[in-house]
Structures are given as C-alpha cells and as structure tokens.
Amino acid sequence: MSATDPAVGAVRSGAVEPPAPPPPTGPAALPQPAGIPWLGLLAVLMGTFISTLTGRLSNFGLADIRGALDAGFDEGAWITTAQTAAQMLVAPFAVWAGSIYGPRHILLVACLAFAAISLVIPFTPNLPTLLVLQFVGGLASGCFIPLTLSFILRNMPMRLWAYGIALYALNLELSLNISASLEGWYVEHFSWHWIFWQNVPLALIMAAGLYFGVQTASVQLTPIRRDMFGVLTFGAGLALIYAALDQGNRLDWLRSGLIWGLLLAGLVLLAAFLLHEVLTPHPWLNLRLVLGGPLPFLLINVAFLRLTINSTAFLIPQYLEAVRNFRALEVGDTLIWIAIPQLIICPISAFVLRRTDPRIAPVLGLSLIAGACLVVANGLTPSWGSDEFLVSQLMQALGQSLALSGIVFIGILYLRPEDSLTFGAMLQVSRLMGGEIGQAFIATFSRVREQRASNLIGQHLQIGDVHVVQRLGAYATIAGHAGTPDATAGAALLSRVVRAMATTQSVIDAYVTIAVAVVFALLVLVLLDPPPRGAASHTPLFARKRSAAP
C-alpha cells in the first residue's frame, strides 16, 4: 500500500483511529458443551426443593427416627439441628467457591455427595453416626439455594427473570408444605427410611440436569482472595447462633449454659468477621451491598416472611395434633392446601411482577397473609378441623407466593451481575435465620401463653363447684364402661378439655402476634422508594447504565 493511499492518509491525519493491536492469545480453551438452559434451570430449582424438603421431613418424621435408633427426646432433638446448622455454616463457603470454580462444579459435587449420604443414612447403627451424616448432608444440601439465584440471573434472559424468581419462590413454598403429607404417607405405607431415600433419585436427576443443561464455565486463573477467615467466621458464627435458637425452647433459653455458650461464641465470631471485613483490603463480602440502600430492609422482610411461614407451619400441626389428635398424614392434608395452589399462583405472580410496580405484589401478598392470620384468630375453636382452615390456607398460599417472589425480585433490580452470589448467600441466611427465629419465638410464645391460659382456666375449676361437679359426672359417665361411671377417667377427660382450650387460646394469641409482625413488614415495604426499572423493558438498573454508555 502506497503512502498516497487515502486510507493511510486518513489514519495519519487522525480522521480514522488506527486499529487496535490484537489481544495476546493464550492457550486454546477446550470446547465446552453448549448446555440446555431450561434443563439447567429445572436442575437448580430442584436443588431449592430438595434442600427445604429434607429439613422439613426430618421434623415431621423425628419420632419415628428416634424410635428406630432408641434415642431419647433430648438426644433426638439434635437430628434436625445438625443438618440445618450445617446449611447455615456452608452458605458463605458455597458462594466463595462458586465465584471461583463456577456454580456448576460446586453443585455437581454437592448433588452426588448428598445422594450418597441420603442412601446410607437409614443404615446407621446409632445416633452419633446419624448426627455426623446429617451434618455432612447439610453441608451438601446447603450449597443448593445460595447458588440457585445466581444461575437464574446469569443464564436467563432479563425479560424472564420474574418467571425464574416466581419458580424459585414456588419451590421453597411447595417443598415446605407438602413434606407433612409425604412423611405421613411414607410412614403409613413404607417406613421412615424413605424420608432419606427419596433424596437419592432427586439428587441424581438434579446432577444429570446440571451436567447436560449448564454450560461449563472456564475457570478464571486469577489469584484466589485470601479471605478464608471471613468466610469461616461468618459461617461458623451464624451456625452457632442458629443452633442456639433451634435448641433454646427445649433448654429454656438463657437458663441453659449451653445456650449461653453457643450465643456468645456466635456473636464473638460475627464481631470478628465484621471487624476483619472492614479492615481487610480485599473483603469477601460486599458490606456496601448488604448494608447500603434498600437491600437490608428487603432482607429483613424476607426474614419476617419466613417467620410467618414457619410459624403457621408450626402452629397448625401443633393445634391439630394436641387438640384434635390428628396423625401426620391428616396434618399434611391441611398444609397441602398451601402447596397445591402455588402451581397456579406462580405464573400469576410472575405476570404481576412484569406488568406492574414490583412493590404491588409483595404488598398484596403480605396483606393477604395478615388477613389469613386474623381469620384464624377470630374464628378458631377446639372443634376446628382441616376444612375450617381451608379459607385461611388459600389466602396464605396466594400471599406467600406473591410476597416472596416480589421481595426477591425487587432485590435483584438493585444488583449488578457480580453481586448475585452475595445476594444469594444473604438471602439464604435471611431465609434460614428468619424462619428459625420465627419458629423459636412462636414455640416459646405459644408455650408460655398456653401455660397462662391453662392457669386462668384452672382458677375457675374449684372443688365442690356445682358446674364442675356436673361436668365431672358427665365425663365420668362418658368414660365409664357397662354403665358404671369412671371418676378417674372423667377427671382425665376434663383435664384434656382444659388443655385443648388452653392450646386453642395460645394459637389464637400467636396468630395475632404474627399478623402484627406482617403489618410491620408491610409498612417497611410501603416506605421503600420505587425500584429502578427500564421504562419499557423492565430491565434492572445496571442494564440501563450499560445501554446508556457511549
């Protein structure tokens, strides 16, 4: 090309930028499978289903598991704590490892490990071995939920995020509320072993979906952030506090040295973690993301929502078992009315999120949950059964799905792609901790209120009172045999009636308290500013900033 070439002259004159030198080439990357996005989505969503379902099933099947291992009540109480505390412990590590090696690798290893552990748990000969396996299984299943949200945000088109989040909420709610029916059915027709064996095919199906449906990300050969101190102290601190909350009601809270030790150790570790994250030049956790803007309020709302969900999932079985003597299978028939409607509500929730202000869905959802609580509080009597809970359960089903999907969707509108893993971890922490705080609070609150109600009712049962004598005589006749009254059985029957009334009153008080908590969460949500959105495409803030760049 000659010097008089017009193109050369244009370059020299500055009218045209000279072409940039080609970037240095490294070793050729190995060809990666393209992946099937919808299959990968189903796989990671199945992980949220498995993680919630397993912990909930252990709660319902605890009596059968304790009986098979000859474990007492106090010893067996650690069976569920071992698993859920491990899930809390591993959540920060799962996010750290997923950011380095990619979610696909971590989830595949976790799936296979969880399948193997679920297969061998029913063969354990004693309680200590079971507790160890439960803990390791919790470490594996605890990786599922924190990495799910990151997959949805990184692998789905933005226009479909609302549907992915709605499916995410569907899995959490569905697994939480069908567990009682499944556990009752297993125990009724097979054995408690299937509480664990059911996870084997589910985990293997999830692994296959991940292998064929998720593209293998090339590992970034960058120096690993040396913040294992932050990862370990954060996870360990949360796990210790979670264990204290899980065991607090059984050990009478601060009257127990063990609870004091767990709480103090957990708080010290969390304080060390926060100090380290502030001082280290390369912190693992983005404190500006967690503590800045609206995200803290949204995470608090997630915790409040899980508080209400776990509380009602605790109160209804408590009432039906203590007052109506329902079995686990019959309790499941009531709770399943929260699970089944989720299949219909899921697309409705996504449509509402896409077409309206995203605050509308959670506001409507929280309002429905508060209304459902007040329906039970105003109408509950010792004669209620599954049918009487139907209206409130349907209201709660719609409310939970709208609220959870809406709150999570608002949260992601403030995120950058690189923050999705951190948000997923904090969402898992808020979900588990909020649910545990809710269940611990409601269990203690309902126990104290039941004792108070029993004491107040007992004050009206005076020896020699005409009405008491008549009632004892009637009960003695009912409990007697061959026309002969049984005074002892009559007194026992009267005691059962008093307990049923006291339990009913405690459940009413608990539902009123839950309604107040929901109203508080509703006020927090209403006071938030509208989230950033694209005018037409409803894309997140970071996407609009990119499109506005020259």
Looking at residue 539, its pLDDT comes to 41
More confident residue, 529 or 116: 116
Looking at residue 115, its pLDDT comes to 93
More confident residue, 492 or 239: 239
5 within some domain:
no
Q: What is the DSSP string of 378-393?
A: HH--TT--TGGGHHHH
- Euclidean distance between CA atoms 435 and 400, whole angstroms: 13
- Euclidean distance between CA atoms 51 and 172, whole angstroms: 9
Q: What is the DSSP string of 346-401?
A: HHHHHHHHHHS-TTHHHHHHHHHHHHHHHHHHHH--TT--TGGGHHHHHHHHHHHH
Q: For the chain, how many structural domains are there in total?
A: 2
Angle between the 161-189 and 295-322 helix axes, to the nearest 10 degrees?
20
- Euclidean distance between CA atoms 217 and 214, whole angstroms: 9
Same domain? For 211 and 296 the reply is no
* Helix, strand, coil share of the chain (percent; to 5): 75, 0, 25
Same domain? For 152 and 296 the reply is no
**Domain, as residue range, for 128:** 34-216
Q: What number is the average pLDDT over the span 386-414?
A: 84
**How distant, in Å, are the alpha carbons of 364, 397, 529, 530, 540 from that of 357?**
12, 21, 11, 8, 13
34 has a pLDDT exceeding 50: no
258 within some domain:
no
CA end-to-end span of the chain, whole Å? Answer: 33
- Euclidean distance between CA atoms 487 and 476, whole angstroms: 5
pLDDT band (50, 70, 90) for residue 186: confident
- Euclidean distance between CA atoms 243 and 234, whole angstroms: 14
Looking at residue 70, its pLDDT comes to 81
Tens digits of residue pLDDT in 200-226: 999 999 898 888 877 765 444 334 456
Same domain? For 300 and 192 the reply is no
More confident residue, 245 or 101: 245
Residue 315 makes CB contacts below 8 A (sequence gap 6+) with 442, 446, 507, 510, 511
pLDDT band (50, 70, 90) for residue 536: very low
Looking at residue 267, its pLDDT comes to 95
- Over the Cα atoms of the chain, what is R_g? 27
Does the reported pTM lie above 0.95?
no
Same domain? For 336 and 188 the reply is no
- Euclidean distance between CA atoms 13 and 530, whole angstroms: 50
185 has a pLDDT exceeding 90: no
Tens digits of residue pLDDT in 126-170: 889 999 999 999 999 888 877 777 777 777 777 777 787 877 777
- Euclidean distance between CA atoms 393 and 399, whole angstroms: 10
Looking at residue 44, its pLDDT comes to 79
Looking at residue 355, its pLDDT comes to 81
Looking at residue 374, its pLDDT comes to 93
Q: What number is the average pLDDT over the span 321-343?
A: 73
Q: What number is the average pLDDT over the span 66-95?
A: 85
Q: Of 216, 249, 280, which closes a domain? A: 216
